[in-house]
Structure 1
């Protein structure tokens, strides 16, 4: 019996798994407390009921031949012990499987990698800035081990950074982080401008007076593009 706390389901998307038509299964619960989090209702953990994953399985069965992939997102999906079994069932149904994670549990991620087809790894910041942004000490070292595991695996993956100009980021910080990732061997990278319609911390919904214009971020992406095979700006 698989217990997963399903927080939501996006039935069809072309954005969450590059070059694939996918659905996204959102799982409840996350150990991080990023102020700009746009899914604050998914942060508090809870125990899943058996019918929740069964409902998702029935949906997936109805989408065979229509969808190519299933992405597990959150929250932080690697928080849940039932995830490997759910991935196994999803693969058995003929779907590719993607995972969105911030990498706080590197050992769990390493065990999942042989079952996965693609990973989107959130990179909150560089070094100790990661902990400051996510509101939890010691996460950046765990995240570093997750990145190493992905680099060593040979699996297709993307790193992505959500940029919110309040307190933490300047253009130079973003550039330094991107170049550090490129030097580590990251080939696919995306910069995402934070959504401000709803945030965990209401202060992050307010305009930032000294925020650089989007054109400046676009110019940075143009400068950085030679360092990556694929680099996107999402806003």
Structure 2
């Protein structure tokens, strides 16, 4: 400070015995706000760590208006942090940290404006919760995830039941569709493991293969011998051979 006002930056002349000066750093300054333990509006004890970013815009006011501008700015930031956090609930602190930092920065800037100090921002480093509260919140989150999973599973069951109902209605109108579905199920079972499946042979399948003759047709009853077991066919052949021997 030279004469009646601020001088600089640059080369400044002063008289050692008459003038006095004070150097003011106009660069951005970073101050770590000590850990503050406080109680939220919903009676939860927490500790908050924050960082303050500010710079001096009026070197004359920062020198004349207050004796130690840096220490005073830090104290104002601490008290403002306690007041703002104490008026919030724990949920608001955890979900809206950016808006909380902005609110604290505006409040501190209003208090230090007369000292020629400009607050850039107040950043919340960490919000520390008690250990028992950590376990409670983890249990609550786990319960919410389980409830959401049950709801999704129930919705899937409803959709599956509706699809099965529509499929059953379609199969009820066409019996061939139901038989094809049975064959598809058997194919999937056979692919999974080596099993032997006994499946009844419907005679209706032979209907398209009926042979027609003059004056009538051969029914599926005439095709029954081809469906008999091999042992019955052998016994029938043996009986025919014995009859031929008796006739001779």
**Structure of higher RCO (CA pairs closer than 8 Å, 6+ residues apart):** 1
Higher normalized helix content (fraction of residues):
2
Bucket of the pairwise TM-score, normalised by the shorter protein: under 0.3
Higher normalized strand content (fraction of residues):
1
